Structure 1
Amino acid sequence: MESIVVLGGGLAAASVVGELRELGYTGALSLVSEETQLPYERPPLSKGFLQGKEEPADFTVHDASWYASHDVALRLGVAATSIETAKRQVLLADGSALDYDQLVLATGSRASLGGRTPIPGYDLPAVHVLRTLDDAKSLRAELVEGAQVAVVGSGWIGMEVAAAARQRGARVTVYSPSEVPLAKVFGERLGNHLLELHQSHGVDVRTARVHGIEEADGHLQVLSDAGSSRADLVLLAMGAQPNVQLAEAAGLEVDSGVVVDASLRSSDARILAVGDIAQAFNTVLHRQLRVEHWDNAIRQGKLAAATLAGEERSYDWLPYFFTDQFDLGMEYVGHGSPGDTTVVRGDMESGEFFMFWQDGSEITAAANVNIWDVNGTLRGLVGREIDADRLSDPAIALKDL
C-alpha cells in the first residue's frame, strides 16, 4: 500500500490524517511538523487562550495516544527542507529523508513583518507576532493589568488581540492603516460597528501607519504618522504570508498560494495542498480561492483525505469564519465584496442582528451577530436573489425567504 506524508502541524494536517484513518486507509502515514507541539487549532490563540479561558489541551486536535493507536508516525520539531519530486522524497533538517507515494502540503502561514523589508524594530524584545502557540504563550505572559499595548494592524488578529488585552486590564492602542478597520473586507457599515465596539471598551484606535519601533529608556516607542507613543509591548498584526517556499522550490505552480484543482491536487498529481496555502478551485464560486480560516482547514483536510483515498469529491462549500470580540460573537458565510450593498435585519445598536451583502439582488454573503444556530440557514440563502425589503423584514422568517 502507498505511503502518505503530511507536512504541517495545524488543523488542516491533523484533519488529513484523521480522515484518512476514518476512511479505512491502512498504509504508512507520517506527519511532519517544525513545531514541537501536537497539531492544534489556532483560533483560540487570539481568543480564549489569550484571555486565560482555554489551555492547549482544550484545542489540541488529537492527543499522543490517538496518533500511536492509529499508527501515525509523528516527526515533531523538525522542519522539511526540500521536496525531491523525481525521487518522491522529503528531506528534513535533521538530515533524514522520508519517501512518499503521495504528499500533502499543509504548511500554513507566517506573520508578515511589513513587506519585503521588515518594519524597523521588528526584532526588539517585547515586539511580538501571533501565529504559533509559543507566540501566544510569550504574548499572554506580558498582557498584564496596566500594560500599555500597541497593536500594529487592524485585521482579525489585531482586533481580537486588542479585545483580549483590554479584557485582561491592559491599555490598548490600535494603529489602523485605514480609517475604518476591516472596511476592505466587509464595507464601512460593519467596519464602523466594530470600530465603535472597540472604542466603547476603551481601545484607542488611531488611523496611522507605523514606520518603526525603537527602544528608549527601558520601554518601546512606536513611530507612526500620529507621532511617537510609548508602549510596553507591541504586536505586529499586519497580515500573514502563506508558506509556499517548499512548493516553489519543488517547481509546483504557485500564485497567491499553491495552485490546486477542485480535488486539491497541485500541478504535480502526487502532491496536494490544503489550508492556508491552498489556492483551490471552488466549484460553487467558479474561481480559485485561498482561505485562511478554521472551517476551511477542517473541510479541506477531509477533502484531501477523500482524494487520496480515490473518492470523487470537490471543493464545493462557501467560506465560513467566526470571531469573538468583547461581547460580540459573529459568524460569516459566503464571499462578499466591500463594494456590495449591505442589508441589516434587526437592530445593530442592540448587538443582535443579521447582515447580508448583495450584488444587485444576489446574496453574496451573510452574517449572524449574537444570534445562534442559524448559520446553516444563512448558508442556504447565499447565491439566491432576494429583494432587500424582504431580507430586512423581521416579520418574514429566515426559513421563508
Structure 2
Amino acid sequence: MSAPAPTPSTSAATRIVIAGAGPAAQALVAQLDRARFTGTITVLSNRDDTPTELLELAMLPQVSVRFGQPASHIDAVNRTVATADGMEFAYDQLVIATGSAPVASPVDGAGQCLSYATIDDAPRVAKGIQKVARELGRRPVGILVGTGAAAGQAEAVLRAKGVRPIRTTARPAAIIPAVVSGGSASRQAASAVVFEDGSSMTGDLVVLAEERVSRDGLAASAGLQTAAGGGIVISRDYRSSVPGIWAIGDAAAFDGVRLGLLVAAASAAGACATQLLTEASAAPALQAAA
C-alpha cells in the first residue's frame, strides 16, 4: 500500500505512542515519517534486541524509541501509558502493535527450518523453497508442521511453488538438519522431524506453522474488547472499542482472526497512518471550536 499523502497541517502537539516495536510498529513509524507527520512519536519497545531498522527509525527527529521499556498499563481516561519500569507517557493517539507469541515452547532445532506465522512470511518461505530447489536441482519434498489458518496458508505457498507438502499435526520433539552437497557447494537444511516416540519424517525442507496467541495483555487495563480466541478487536479502520486506541499487526483481531493472517503489516500500517493523520489534522479545529 502506498504511503499516505503528505499532510503538513497536522498539529505539532499531537502525540502518538506505539506500544510494540516489531514489523507492524516499524512500518507505521515509517509511513508517518513519509507523510511528514509533525507531531511526536514514542515507541515503547517490547523487544530485547535492537534491529537495524528500529535503530534507523530512532534517529528520526520526531521519534523517540524507548528500548526495553514495554508498555504495561493503559489509563484510557487520562490517556497515559505506563511502562514496566514505572515511566509514564501521555498520548493523543495510542497504537498497540505488540504482536503475538508461540503457544508452545520452541522445538529443538527450529532455527534450522522455515517458519510461517503471518502473511508477511509468505515471500520469505517462497524464496526459501526456491533456494532449496536450485541447490537440489529438483522440486523439494516439504514437511509442514502445524494446524489452523497459518498452516493452511503455508500449505498454499508450498503448493504454489510446486511442493507437495507432507503435513503432520503432531508436534515434533526435534528438527534434524542434514548437509546436502552439490559439487563444491553445500547447504544445511532442516530435512527431518523426530517425534517423542522415536518415529520420524524426512524431506528436503521443513516449514513450522504452529499456533500463536496475540499479545493483548494491555487490553484489560484499558477496557478494550478482545476476541474469544485472543487479539484486540478492531474495526475495518483499525480502531479498537475505546476512543484514541488503535491496534495493528498480530496484537489485533478482525472478525475473530489474528490480523497478521489477514493483512500484511505494511498495508495495515499505511491504512492506520492515514486514520491517525486525519485525527491529527482534525484536532486543532476541534480545539478551536471548544
- Report the TM-score when normalising by structure 2: 0.62
SS across alignment from 1:25: coil
* Amino acid corresponding to residue 291 of structure 1 in structure 2: L
Q: Residues 230 and 8 (structure 1 numbering): CA distance in 2 closer, same or farther, change over 3 Å?
A: same
Please state how far the C-alpha of 1:100 moved relative to its aligned partner: 1.8
Are the counterparts in 2 of residues 85 and 250 from structure 1 also a CA contact under 8 Å? yes
Please state how far the C-alpha of 1:244 moved relative to its aligned partner: 1.3
Are the counterparts in 2 of residues 214 and 222 from structure 1 also a CA contact under 8 Å? yes
Partner residue, 2:88: 97
2:220 counterpart of 1:229:
no
Please state how far the C-alpha of 1:73 moved relative to its aligned partner: 0.3
Q: Residues 173 and 298 (structure 1 numbering): CA distance in 2 closer, same or farther, change over 3 Å?
A: closer
C-alpha separation in 1, matches of 2:89 and 2:68: 15
**Count of residue pairs brought into register by the alignment:** 240
Partner residue, 1:297: 265
Partner residue, 1:272: 246
Are the counterparts in 2 of residues 265 and 272 from structure 1 also a CA contact under 8 Å? yes
Cα deviation digits, residues 279-313 of structure 1 (max 9, x gap):
34xxxxxx67653169632222122222222269x
SS across alignment from 1:98: strand
Percent identity over the alignment?
26
Cα deviation digits, residues 331-389 of structure 1 (max 9, x gap):
xxxxxxxxxxxxxxxxxxxxxxxxxxxxxxxxxxxxxxxxxxxxxxxxxxxxxxxxxxx
Are the counterparts in 2 of residues 165 and 172 from structure 1 also a CA contact under 8 Å? no
Please state how far the C-alpha of 1:276 moved relative to its aligned partner: 2.3
C-alpha separation in 1, matches of 2:278 and 2:242: 16
Partner residue, 1:44: none
SS across alignment from 1:310: helix
Partner residue, 1:362: none
Structure 1 regions of 5+ residues with no counterpart?
A: 40-56, 114-121, 129-138, 144-148, 200-204, 281-286, 313-401
Q: Residues 16 and 154 (structure 1 numbering): CA distance in 2 closer, same or farther, change over 3 Å?
A: closer
C-alpha separation in 2, matches of 1:242 and 1:261: 17
C-alpha separation in 1, matches of 2:240 and 2:15: 18
2:238 counterpart of 1:238:
no
One of 10, 14, 17 as aligned partner of 1:2: 14
Partner residue, 1:388: none
Q: Residues 193 and 14 (structure 1 numbering): CA distance in 2 closer, same or farther, change over 3 Å?
A: closer
2:47 counterpart of 1:17:
no
* Amino acid corresponding to residue 5 of structure 1 in structure 2: V
C-alpha separation in 2, matches of 1:86 and 1:258: 18
Please state how far the C-alpha of 1:31 moved relative to its aligned partner: 0.9
2:170 counterpart of 1:210:
yes
Superposition pairs of residues 32-111 of structure 1, within 5 angstroms: 32-37=44-49, 60=53, 64=56, 66-111=57-102
Partner residue, 1:198: 163
2:229 counterpart of 1:261:
no
Please state how far the C-alpha of 1:70 moved relative to its aligned partner: 2.9
C-alpha separation in 1, matches of 2:259 and 2:19: 18
Partner residue, 1:163: 129
Please state how far the C-alpha of 1:238 moved relative to its aligned partner: 1.0
Partner residue, 2:143: 174
Name which structure has the greater RCO, CA cutoff 8 Å, separation 6+.
2
C-alpha separation in 1, matches of 2:40 and 2:116: 43
